[in-house]
Chain A
Amino acid sequence: MTAQDFMTILDSKSLAEVLREYPLGRDFLANFRLNNLAQELTFSQALLEVEEEALAEFGLDRMGALKDFAEFLKQFTPQENLLAEVKSITIIGGWNKAKTPETISLTISAGEIISIVGPTGSGKSRLLNDIECLAQGDTLTGRTILVNGAELEDIQRFEMEGKLVAQLSQNMNFVMDLTVREFLEMHAKCRLTPNVNEVVAICFQCANQLAGEKFSENTLVTQLSGGQSRALMIADTAFMSDSPIILIDEIENAGINRRKAIALLAKREKIIFLSTHDPLLALSAHKRIIIKNGGIAKVIEISEAEKESLGIIENLDNTMQRLRTALRSGEVICMRDLRESSS
């Protein structure tokens, strides 16, 4: 539907009918202090009751308000989603800081997990930046990122409006003063999700499975522990975010089942990049990109041998977890605790 179609609707139906069909329209009215319009009239008729000066404060006149309302309804009516169509991305090498060409072409499909490793300052962020802006040989690294095997026009890159990539890092916090339930509902509303209750319930349940310590729907998001916050962010990203690509920057151990979390995202057919030095996470990935001197030095496919060591690493990790829990609950650590795990 075009904005013109919505203008026709606004002119032929009463405001009450329009709002029944497009409840989000209430937000538009609230944004321009028009919440008290007579609902039995059409928008334009109801607007005649409003003083022109009140509209002018928002830089609007009556015709402009009608046009803006139509544009708003168009913007927030679900349309075909470009992002859902992202099935793969391909990284075509550019060059490193010494201008040595990177001889790689790596295609990553939905559901794949790629870890990125390398010393601090080696160029991990640059690679993540290239992916985020869908570099077309025009960034410092000269890399090209293809989506579904095709190059992108600049206009398509702008259209993505940062929605291509969702990010998750250890530094992130919730700043909203809302309960977990209100928070999830608000996000669902923004995503124009039709079955809000269902999605919110799944998200909440899943976040609780990932978190070490359980939390309730009525907890304020700002009061969640680090682990709980991370768990909620991951569940939310998995079930509510549109973005087909997820960039994860180190998730710490505490209070969250990291492997489960990453597996959940992969199951949702996302493309996952993990910047991590945590052996457990790095070896849980399918491939590993090694960054050196600003360039991709190597891509290692996780071998069977590496996967075998995963079991032992997991035991070590569990031991550390158990020691943490023991310390937290005031116990004294003894050698037996350590031996138990290695057997």
Chain B
Amino acid sequence: MKLITVAGPPSSGKTSVILKLIGAMNRAPGGIGVVKFDCLTSFDNLSYEEAGIPVQTGFSGKICPDHYFVSNIEDAVQWGVQSGFELLITESAGLCNRCSPYIKGILSVCVIDNLSGVNTPRKIGPMLKYADIVVVTKGDIVSQAEREVFAFNIRQVNSAGKVVFVNGITGQGAFILAKYLRQARDIQSLRDTRLRFTTPAAVCSYCTGEIKIGAPYQMGMMKKMEFKQV
């Protein structure tokens, strides 16, 4: 089975891109499955079900979404293998802009949209920097120049990755993306593979449910801001 991981900020068009991508891959029904990692709620499973695509949704809830992803990805792969998929696509929302749920040797896709502002690519960090392919959506409603500036800013942060423009509504661009993704490696398990980047470090009192504010309640890994005198 092949595995592709897709990440991106909320509402950047991940689900639309994946649906168009699956359409462009032209496979027999049931050959491609999706695992959706989300935080609290998700309605994307409905879109997948409507398209006849087997989907599993998991909610990280109070757990850091990245940690949740890593501790469940191998089970997701086993689900995919047992279901007899040719291809499994994981979709996860990168909520803190630091998240980068990418695994060494597994094709990774980051989806961002043109409307998020031209400097956004420079602010996203590892989620963009470590992606093999950066899919840019919503290009049909901004000017050509802004698309070019946006792509330029992506290359500034991720010089090695490929930038592909996909229209999530018409599917324009999904064909070439599908073609590129066929290179994904076949795997049976992810055991002993490595993440491309560490997940956010966070073992502090607030991780374990503390809600009071003030120094006495702050324990564990902390990072303090430096405030200079005005």
Tell me the A residues contacting B by CB distance below 8 Å.
27-28, 30-31, 56-59, 68, 71-72, 74-76, 125, 128-129, 132-133, 138-139, 154, 157-158, 161-162, 166-169, 171-176, 183, 186-187, 190-191, 229, 233, 236-237, 240-243
Contact = CB atoms under 8 A, between A and B. Distances in A.
Contacts, number: 110
Given A31-B122, A59-B125, 16 more contacts: A28-B156, A59-B126, A76-B155, A76-B156, A132-B172, A158-B176, A161-B164, A172-B141, A173-B141, A174-B142, A174-B146, A176-B118, A187-B145, A229-B143, A233-B145, A242-B148
A154 B146 CA distance: 27
B17 interface: no
Nearest to A157: B176
B152 A166 contact: no
Among B118, B148, B152, B179, residue most surrounded by chain A Cβ atoms (within 10 Å): B148
Nearest to B122: A31
B164 A31 contact: no
Given A133-B175, A161-B164, A183 B145 contact: yes
Interface string B159-183: 1101111000010110110011000
A233 B143 CA distance: 7
Contacts of B130: 59
B140 interface: yes
Nearest to B149: A190
Contacts of A27: 122, 156
B197 interface: yes
A191 B125 CA distance: 23
A155 B197 CA distance: 28
B95 interface: no
A236 B149 CA distance: 12
A187 B149 contact: yes
Interface residues of B, number: 42
Contacts of A183: 145
Nearest to B179: A154
B145 A59 contact: no
A82 to B, nearest CB: 15
Interface of B: 98, 100, 114-115, 117-118, 122, 125-126, 129-130, 139-146, 148-149, 151-152, 155-157, 159-160, 162-165, 170, 172-173, 175-176, 179-180, 196-198
18 contacts: A31-B157, A58-B125, A58-B129, A59-B100, A59-B126, A59-B196, A76-B155, A128-B172, A132-B172, A138-B179, A158-B180, A161-B151, A162-B173, A167-B139, A172-B143, A174-B143, A236-B144, A243-B144
Contacts of B165: 162
Given A158-B162, A161-B164, A241-B148, A59 B129 contact: yes
Contacts of A233: 143-145
Nearest to A68: B159
A186 B119 CA distance: 12
Contact of B159 (A30, A72, A167, A236): A72
Contact of B142 (A157, A173, A186, A191): A173
A176 B164 contact: no
Contact of B148 (A138, A172, A191): A191
B159 A71 contact: yes
A175 B115 CA distance: 7
B179 A31 contact: no
Greatest chain A CB density within 10 A among B145, B165, B179, B180 is at B145
A224 to B, nearest CB: 11
Contacts of A241: 144-145, 148
